Chain A
Amino acid sequence: MSTPLQIVVCGSFVPDPLQTLEPASRPAGPAAAPSLKNEMMLPAVLDPWAGHALFEAARLARTVAGSKVWLVSLGAKAKLQQVMMTVAQKVPFELVALDGPASGFGDSYETAEALAAAIEGIAGLDRDRLLLFGGWESASRGAGSTLQMVGERLGIAEQFQGVDQLIVRDDGSFEVLERVEGGRHQVSVCGGLPAVLGWATGNLPEPKNNPQIGMINMRAVMPALQKAKAAPLANAGLTFASVTLPKQQRETRIVKNVPAEEIAREIAAWIRED
């Protein structure tokens, strides 16, 4: 393919998955939005699926000269800056920052509206040849609905979710592998851009840190953070009655010093039970 690609990746940060998460106590009443305990203190990482999308975007951009990748990210500015210190060393991109909550309890509709408005504001973006990337879900809200709504607002009706592979052909068409039930991939061929792709894990390992890329990226990241527009999410009409941790603790029966054959017999009998 010879026409340069314009790839916009939507993605923000989530708490490091190895952290213990607890909902913060909140005042009674439906108006109080839930949040995480010590949310601003928790170490954060780029959402894993958004990360896959970003790395796939960078790989694709490398294959077509003149292509460009933007990362549109909604989150608290201070936290975004921390996360960008790492992410910016991975692959080249231009950051478009929105200063607002990255909470899992934020409404996906409002998030989509904010992201779409930011994309509409990208100077020089040709939306007819746009590839809109993101994770098919996030590790916070896990809605799997934001990208579709961004795509709708931008008028893009070629949409794919759970994408593990994208092959762009010389004629501008592309083949997409989407995850479907039963551990299979649905194979689709799309005639051309624009399109929305929500990525699952893809096939790429996380790129190693590259300080040179980091230095180039950070020159634009800091100004982007400084001019980040405020994007508060009101969660209008959304009421959380409760947010709780699962309490169930099982009484584990420990079976030790028992011959393997006997264990196998017990497991076989258990499997055969209705």
Chain B
Amino acid sequence: MEPILLLAHTEADGTLGRPALEALSAALALGGPLAIGLVGAQVKPAADRIGGCGAARFLAVEGEAFAQPRYATDAAGAEALCRAAGCAIVLAAGTSRWARALPGVAYRLGGRVDTHVANLGERDGALSVTRWFYRQRMEAVLSRAQRPWVVLLDPGCVDPWTGAPARAAVEVVTIEHPTSRTAVSGYRAPKSGEQTIRPDAKLLFVAGAGWTKKQADGAAHTAEAEELILGFLRASRASLGGSKSLVDLSGEGEAVLRFMTHMNQVGQTGSTPRHPKGLSTCCHGEEPHVVGWRFIRERRAINLDANCGWARGKADVLYVADAFEVMRHLNRLL
């Protein structure tokens, strides 16, 4: 295998996030000579955290300018690390920060980039990657002749590296601080004020448009739906996903779940999150809606229609029942 540079950025607290440790696992599994490139305000604690991974070199670009996730500085830092390492393969976690910056870095280096990679392998002694096309509706295995090849691995695809910390000898790569007109002023939580998206949750709860429709008594019970869903999320610490039809309702003047935004949408133009388990409620439809839970390992669904394409052949268990009723009981049990 060709030499690999693993790029990682520190989190706000100076540590390495789980996606970075997953990418490290993937890099080690490839078996080529490995260098680590770190970007952040102070990278020594992060370097020591993975100091025992067996990498041949630890390179770093550090300083306050690299504390904030920002294209100009992140791209300059990553570019400097890539040039210093001179590796043919550049691997990084598909975080929002690297997804923003690394395609531009590939361009600067005259290389190529592939994002949303789900698996790495070897064909004829060279790297090959697996990624999805057409919104997770078909899967391809591909390779490239150009180098460097920048590969962004989607979070949740491999187990994170869990080796012991060790002192790392960090080589600081000095670069001229890039000028940027952009300053990050902070973060804004969803309008509900309650976090409903939890990438690390063991369970994805998917709500469909049925929650806002008229129920058996001829009336919609949106307020109760909100209460039941939020109650479940608090008790189970699940992450919330919504079908496209449900999140679109807010733009159509219909009764809506107030905490449900486009950021919750799974499937179609929404995300395709990776969680060990998924429970869908009141969801309907065939492809492409169902791709929203393509990467959920264990799937169960509650639906009034036993033949619904969302669940039949896609879920492990389909409970044909009234979701309101089941969730009332479930919340009490949890």
A residues near B (Cβ < 8 Å) are 14-15, 17-18, 20-23, 34, 36, 48-49, 104-105, 107-109, 112, 139-146, 148-149, 151-153, 157-162, 164, 175, 177-192, 200-201, 205, 236-246, 249-258, 260-261, 263-265, 267-268, 270-271
Within the assembled complex, what's the spacing in Å between the Cα atoms of A228 and B163? Answer: 56
Known: A148-B71, A159-B100, A186-B69. 17 other contacts (CB 8 A): A14-B134, A22-B138, A109-B106, A140-B134, A142-B133, A148-B103, A152-B107, A158-B181, A180-B96, A183-B197, A184-B190, A187-B186, A189-B183, A239-B142, A250-B316, A252-B317, A267-B326
Q: Which residues of A contact B184 (CB under 8 A)?
A: 186-188
B32 at the binding interface (Cβ < 8 Å): no
**Cβ proximity bits B180-194 to A, threshold 8 Å, 1 near / 0 not:** 111111111110000
Q: Are the CB atoms of B180 and A157 closer together than 8 Å?
A: yes
Residue of B nearest to A159 (CB): B71
Pick the contact of A162 from B70, B96, B312, B319 — CB < 8 Å?
A: B96
Within the assembled complex, what's the spacing in Å between the Cα atoms of A87 and B107? Answer: 31
**Cβ proximity bits B246-280 to A, threshold 8 Å, 1 near / 0 not:** 00000110000000001111001100000001010
B83 at the binding interface (Cβ < 8 Å): no
* Given known contacts A105-B133, A140-B134, A244-B138, A260 and B321 CB-to-CB distance under 8 angstroms: yes
Q: Are the CB atoms of B104 and A148 closer together than 8 Å?
A: yes
Q: List 14 A-B contacts (CB under 8 A).
A: A17-B135, A21-B138, A144-B116, A157-B75, A159-B71, A185-B188, A187-B187, A188-B182, A201-B262, A241-B143, A250-B315, A253-B317, A264-B327, A270-B298
| A255 CB, nearest partner CB in chain B, Å | 5
Q: Are the CB atoms of A265 and B333 closer together than 8 Å?
A: yes
Q: Which residues of A contact B264 (CB under 8 A)?
A: 183
Instruction: In the complex, identify which listed stretch (B1-9, B56-64, B299-307) lies at the interface while the others stay far away.
Output: B299-307
Q: Which residues of B contact A161 (CB under 8 A)?
A: 96, 99-100
Q: Which residues of B contact A48 (CB under 8 A)?
A: 268-269
| B154 CB, nearest partner CB in chain A, Å | 11
Within the assembled complex, what's the spacing in Å between the Cα atoms of A139 and B146? Answer: 25
| A159 CB, nearest partner CB in chain B, Å | 4
Q: Are the CB atoms of A239 and B263 closer together than 8 Å?
A: no
Q: Are the CB atoms of A252 and B182 closer together than 8 Å?
A: no
**Cβ proximity bits B114-135 to A, threshold 8 Å, 1 near / 0 not:** 1110000001000010001111
Q: Are the CB atoms of B182 and A191 closer together than 8 Å?
A: yes
What 4 pairs between A and B have smallest CB-CB spacing?
A183-B197, A145-B103, A264-B329, A237-B145
B198 at the binding interface (Cβ < 8 Å): yes
Pick the contact of A144 from B99, B107, B189, B279 — CB < 8 Å?
A: B99
Residue of A nearest to B302 (CB): A263
* Given known contacts A201-B269, A261-B329, A23 and B114 CB-to-CB distance under 8 angstroms: no
Residue of A nearest to B288 (CB): A17
Q: Interface size class for chain B?
A: 35 or more
Q: Are the CB atoms of B320 and A149 closer together than 8 Å?
A: no
| A237 CB, nearest partner CB in chain B, Å | 3
Q: Which residues of A contact B317 (CB under 8 A)?
A: 252-253, 255
Within the assembled complex, what's the spacing in Å between the Cα atoms of A112 and B199? Answer: 31
Q: Which residues of A contact B139 (CB under 8 A)?
A: 243-246
> Counting chain B CB atoms within 10 Å of each CB, which of A164, A243, A267 scores highest?
A267
Pick the contact of B321 from A177, A182, A258 — CB < 8 Å?
A: A258
B176 at the binding interface (Cβ < 8 Å): no
- Interface of A, secondary structure class, is mixed
| A181 CB, nearest partner CB in chain B, Å | 6
B167 at the binding interface (Cβ < 8 Å): no
- Interface of B, secondary structure class, is mixed
B218 at the binding interface (Cβ < 8 Å): no
Q: Are the CB atoms of A21 and B137 closer together than 8 Å?
A: yes
B residues near A (Cβ < 8 Å) are 69-72, 75, 95-97, 99-101, 103-104, 106-108, 112-116, 123, 128, 132-135, 137-146, 178, 180-190, 195-199, 203, 236, 251-252, 262-265, 268-269, 277, 279, 287-288, 294, 298-300, 302, 306, 311-322, 325-330, 332-334
> Counting chain B CB atoms within 10 Å of each CB, which of A48, A149, A186 scores highest?
A186
> Counting chain A CB atoms within 10 Å of each CB, which of B101, B107, B251 scores highest?
B107
Q: Which residues of A contact B135 (CB under 8 A)?
A: 17, 139, 142
Q: Which residues of B contact A107 (CB under 8 A)?
A: 112
Q: Are the CB atoms of A108 and B268 closer together than 8 Å?
A: no
Residue of A nearest to B183 (CB): A189
Q: Which residues of B contact A164 (CB under 8 A)?
A: 262-263
Q: Are the CB atoms of B329 and A249 closer together than 8 Å?
A: no
Within the assembled complex, what's the spacing in Å between the Cα atoms of A268 and B106? Answer: 47
Q: Which residues of B contact A191 (CB under 8 A)?
A: 181-182
Q: Are the CB atoms of A182 and B195 closer together than 8 Å?
A: yes
Within the assembled complex, what's the spacing in Å between the Cα atoms of A146 and B106? Answer: 11
* Given known contacts A17-B135, A239-B142, A239-B144, A250 and B299 CB-to-CB distance under 8 angstroms: yes
* Given known contacts A145-B115, A179-B96, A241-B143, A140 and B330 CB-to-CB distance under 8 angstroms: no
Q: Are the CB atoms of B313 and A184 closer together than 8 Å?
A: no
Q: Which residues of B contact A265 (CB under 8 A)?
A: 329, 333
Q: Which residues of B contact A243 (CB under 8 A)?
A: 133, 138-140
Q: Which residues of A contact B114 (CB under 8 A)?
A: 143
| B293 CB, nearest partner CB in chain A, Å | 11
* Given known contacts A183-B264, A252-B317, A260-B329, A188 and B190 CB-to-CB distance under 8 angstroms: no
* Given known contacts A181-B95, A189-B183, A252 and B263 CB-to-CB distance under 8 angstroms: no
Q: Are the CB atoms of A157 and B100 closer together than 8 Å?
A: no
Q: Which residues of A contact B134 (CB under 8 A)?
A: 14-15, 21, 36, 104, 139-140, 142
